[in-house]
Amino acid sequence: MNREAKVDQDMCIGCGICADNLPDVFHMDSNGKAECFDPGGATEEEIQLQAIDLCPVTCIHWQQE
């Protein structure tokens, strides 16, 4: 079972924690919202601990591929 991190941009407040912690996975788009551009840029554990668990509005979720 493969999972991919997905950002709900309607909920995202643009804090940048995910992009700061995992710049190989997340970046901020032109609207200042987080975007997962390379879900393979880190392990699932790193994404969980350094982005999903730290998101203040819990807008990053796992999506099944």
Domain boundaries, the chain: 3-64
Q: Which residues pair with 5 in a beta bridge?
A: 62
**What is residue 36's predicted lDDT score, i.e. its pLDDT?**
97
Class of domain 3-64: alpha beta
C-alpha 42/C-alpha 30 separation (Å) is 23
Q: Is the pTM of this model over 0.95?
A: no
3-state class (DSSP) for residue 43: coil
Helices of type H across 1-65? 17-21, 44-47
Assess contact for 15 and 62: CB atoms under 8 A: no
Q: pLDDT band for 64, please (50, 70, 90 cuts).
A: confident
